[in-house]
Structure 1
Amino acid sequence: MVGALEWGDVFSFDDYGALLQLVGNSVVAGAVLGIVGGLIGVFIMQRDMAFAVHGVSELSFAGAAAALLFGGSVVIGSIAGAVAAAALIGLLGARARDRNSIVGVLMPFGLGLGILFLSLYEGRSANRFSLLTGQIVSVSSPDLGWLIGISVVVLVGLLLVWNPLRFDSLDGQSAEARGVPTSAVSLVFMLLLGLIVAVAVHIIGALLVMALLVTPAAAAMRVSHGPLGVPLLAALFGFVSAVGGILLAIAGTLPVSPYITTISFLIYVVCRAIAWRQDRARAARSAQVALRVAA
């Protein structure tokens, strides 16, 4: 007879300090990913590209699985797959309808290819599982250097194209009419997105990258509308989700992804509740003003 699940079966804070030292690389990588992922997530939401994130992650997973099978660098394989997918979507999916159809084709192809490579891999099963759900102890010092370097490249690239990218994301037709090279801006954005997705796969796994690249920005847009407030809140929410999830996972028996996704989801729920209260307060003030005018 299977006993009831107890708190100690999920969390155990024995030797927490020693365990924290073992995952120091992952905490740093998660912090950087949370910040950069939150910032780029603002443009993902503005450009309605949440579906594309999932498509890129599936090809990133396939590239990482291929590298695992053939004994190459998992980081480089993940980057190669993500960048290839991002370039295809950026070049062929200028319109939303084309983009969604391309993503719909790439997703099952990438997932199927990744599963094929993993089924042929005869190494540790934990390595296979971590590509899908994340693994807090899988970030070695060389990998950390890669991940931070990639994140810095994405951050710098994002800052360089921030204004034209924001203009194109909010009003593409006006941006094109004003001389903004919208096609080039879109392609650059997709390549930056591919790079950060490749980083996210190593922290949270290929199946749940949207928890750090979409949910924090979606939450921030519920409680703020300013050009500065939304990115700052999105970066903060991404940081809290990533680092908080990793710190909880150290004491837990589950993979890191459930903790990160749960924190990210709870932040979104709280932001929706705040937005609902703000909307009700505005509606009540409008009704009071209307009554005064009528009186």
Structure 2
Amino acid sequence: MLLADDTSPVFSWNPVADFQDMWSYAYMVNAFRAGLIVAVVCAVVGWFMVLRRQAFAGHSLSVAAFPGASLAVLVGFSTTLGYFGFCIAAALVIAALRREGQEGGAEESAATGTVQAFALACGYLFISLYKGLLEGPTALLFGDFLGITTGQVEILAVVGAAVLAVLAVIGRPLLFASLDPQVAAGRGVPVRLLGTVFLVLLAAATAEASQITGTLLVFALLVIPPATAQQLTARPGPSLLLSALLGLGACWAGLIAAYYQPYPLGFFVTGFAFAGLVLAHLFRYLRDSLERRRMPLTLTGGAA
């Protein structure tokens, strides 16, 4: 990446000086603020998405962010409005077309795949009609942090706070409905309504993440940190906290790497998140291996 004076930043191995230099640019400060908001929101919402096995629905909503942002670039209005507008509209369509009893299995829904296909077709149309520089659409697909403004950060903060507030209110019944929807429905829990509300929250989180990672790499923050956390612990509270920490670490580490290297931000965020998932699987494998080795010793001692 080139700075305003056409010189590339150089890592000096002096963390204090490096951060002072990096945060002397307003766009980097905004990028770190936006990364904090997006990482936490995506980690919490994504944790429920992974638990509910709705990764395909989340992927379809991320695809819907592409035509929304593309249309915004084409007609010249705010890309933030395009992200949120198309994602939430797609979530409502998926919820409306989904048949009764599909909660927890929306990734296999034909309605979800239909919305995804139509969103991709619209995005391709808008890109074909776009006559400007290719850098704009490329940033929409793979992420960019140079254009994040203070106004966008404020919008992300307001939307993120609203998403977390709603999720805090419906968290307990949503967890119940996610683990056993049939029993929850029998206990009077509005399973379908909760599923619709969650899809809207998932759409908002997806729209936020798309502005950092790009629409094609949303899962770097929405899926990988929650999946990593659930590999390490099954307890909801610690798992949610760990998911947020992992997402934040991957996002901020990616921003630092992208500042010093001329490669896409989305690659670095995804790479760090994926490395964490691999390490989590390795840790779990070693832990299970040790437990299996201890088990015969325990049985032998008990028999003696």
CA distance in structure 1 between the aligned counterparts of 2:106 and 2:260, rounded to whole angstroms: 44
Mapped pair 1:67 → 2:72: yes
CA distance in structure 2 between the aligned counterparts of 1:41 and 1:57, rounded to whole angstroms: 12
Match of 1:31 in 2: 36
Amino acid at match of 1:145: E
Q: 1:32 aligns to what SS in structure 2? A: helix
Mapped pair 1:123 → 2:132: yes
Match of 1:287 in 2: 296
1:126-183 superposed Cα distances (whole Å, 9 cap, x missing partner): 2111110000112112111111111111111111111011111111111111111111
1:20-70 superposed Cα distances (whole Å, 9 cap, x missing partner): 423211111111111111111111111101111110011111111111111
8 Å CA contact 1:167–1:175 kept in 2: the answer is yes
CA distance in structure 1 between the aligned counterparts of 2:107 and 2:143, rounded to whole angstroms: 31
Match of 1:81 in 2: 86
CA distance in structure 1 between the aligned counterparts of 2:118 and 2:301, rounded to whole angstroms: 62
Identity %: 31
Runs of 4+ residues deviating >6 angstroms: none
Alignment of 1:50-199 (within 5 A): 50-94=55-99, 95=102, 96=105, 100-199=109-208
CA distance in structure 1 between the aligned counterparts of 2:238 and 2:210, rounded to whole angstroms: 27
CA distance in structure 2 between the aligned counterparts of 1:142 and 1:11, rounded to whole angstroms: 26
Q: 2:132 aligns to what SS in structure 1? A: coil
Aligned residues: 286
Give the structure-1-normalised TM-score: 0.92
8 Å CA contact 1:154–1:192 kept in 2: the answer is yes
1:109-137 superposed Cα distances (whole Å, 9 cap, x missing partner): 21221122122112232211111000011
Q: Tell me, which stretches of 5 or more residues in structure 1 are unaligned?
A: 1-9
CA distance in structure 2 between the aligned counterparts of 1:127 and 1:260, rounded to whole angstroms: 20
Give the structure-2-normalised TM-score: 0.89
Match of 1:13 in 2: 11
1:203-234 superposed Cα distances (whole Å, 9 cap, x missing partner): 00000101101110100011111121110101
Q: 1:98 to 1:259 in 2, by over 3 A?
A: closer
8 Å CA contact 1:222–1:272 kept in 2: the answer is yes
The Cα shift of 1:282 comes to: 1.7
CA distance in structure 2 between the aligned counterparts of 1:292 and 1:11, rounded to whole angstroms: 62
**Superposition RMSD in Å:** 1.9
8 Å CA contact 1:93–1:99 kept in 2: the answer is no
Match of 2:254 among 245, 260, 277: 245
Q: 1:259 to 1:97 in 2, by over 3 A?
A: closer
